Amino acid sequence: MAHLFERVTIAGPGLIGGSLALAARAAGLVGEVVGLARSAETLAEARRRGIVDRASSDPLDAARGANLLVLAVPVRAIATVARQCLPVLAPGCVVTDAGSVKAPIVRELEALMPPGQPFVGAHPIAGTEEQGPAAADPDLFRHQLCIITPSAQTDAAAAGRIQALWEGVGMRVERMSPERHDDILAAVSHLPHVIAFALVNAVVAAGGDLPRYRGGSLRDATRVASSSVEMWRDILLTNAAAVDAALARFSAELERLRGALRRGDEAELVRLLVRASAERRGWSRES
């Protein structure tokens, strides 16, 4: 039985790229998998874990003859890595990414692609705060959501193959515009990460040995603050306008809570807490 993609290059065989390689292999979706990374340690671990058949730090070597290029690198590196790989890809090779920001990536990558070289933006919404090939898990994507962000230029057949890839590793796939994706992710992913980073800094800024007394609530609320700084620097700067709008909404909610506390307004405080509590319980029932 033919594979969906016979030769795959994974640029960034870490948590997302490595998990995709393992899952796609297990599902029989891909043939040879080649890893591309700057770090010799990353490449060695990817080989040791069986994520890739071969690994290289040279884009021209790693991408030569690929009919699928997966760009699972930090957001601001995606276009650079794509540009390095383009000259040696197989004719008609499908190029895709796994970035958490879509609109600027789709614009830049579509402008880079030569005729007959399709790009399909994608974002598998799955992951942990862990990093690197050691964290790769073939079950990471099961029952999770992947968003594909076609534009007016997107090749329909290529988009269908990328959808089949993510569905083949167990994901539910939705399609939406790149701009809609970025607004949604700013609210439900990027904002929570910003809050986690800020909360850790606020606890530290209070001075003393406060972190020593941390309990489950602080651990839960700040878990993602241990995520890759490089990755989140790129995400936040690339999606800055949407994140700023989400922060403005969050700041307004904080001010409502602060106002109720300053005024000793028990009724308003309870109203705000009840509204949030009821909404959150609804989320649990939906999952």
- Whether residue 134 sits in one domain with residue 36: yes
Do 74 and 103 fall into the same domain?
yes
In the chain, pLDDT over 70 holds for what percent of residues?
Answer: 99
Residue 13, domain extent: 5-177
Let me know whether 69 and 134 are in one domain: yes
Which token pair is 95? 């190029």
DSSP labels, 119-165: EE-EEEE---S--SGGG--TTTTTT-EEEE---TT--HHHHHHHHHH
The region of weakest confidence among 176-185, 210-219, 256-265, 272-281 is 210-219
Whether residues 122 and 9 fall in one domain:
yes
Could you tell me if 60 and 117 lie in one domain? yes
pLDDT tens per residue across span 7-48: 999 999 999 999 999 999 999 999 999 999 999 999 999 999
Specify whether 151 is located in the same domain as 228: no
Give the tens place of pLDDT for each residue, 217-243.
999 999 999 988 998 999 999 999 999
Q: Is 161 found in the same domain as 186?
A: no
CATH code, domain with 208 = 1.10.3660.10
Q: CA of 246: how far to CAs of 20, 103, 189, 250, in Å?
A: 30, 17, 10, 6
Please identify, among 177, 197, 231, the residue that sits at the C-terminal boundary of a domain.
177
Tell me what pLDDT residue 127 has.
78
Same domain assignment for residues 51 and 36: yes
Q: Which residue has the tokens 């690339």?
A: 238
pLDDT at position 287: 59
Beta carbons of 197 and 229 less than 8 angstroms apart = no
Q: In terms of domains, do 83 and 225 share one? A: no
Of the CA atoms within 13 Å of residue 62, those in its CB half-sphere come to 26
pTM for the model stands at: 0.92
For the chain, how many structural domains are there in total?
2
pLDDT in tens, 180-220: 999 999 999 999 999 999 999 999 999 888 888 888 899 99
Inter-CA distances, 153 with 82, 89, 106, 163, 271, Å: 18, 20, 10, 17, 47
Residue 172: give its domain's CATH number.
Answer: 3.40.50.720
Task: With a cut of 80, say whether residue 1 has pLDDT above it.
Answer: no
Q: Both 12 and 139 in a single domain? A: yes
What integer best gives the mean pLDDT of the chain?
A: 96
In this structure, the answer to whether residues 158 and 217 fall within a common structural domain is: no
Domain end, chosen from 142, 162, 177, is at: 177
- Examine the domain organization and report whether 164 and 242 are in the same domain: no
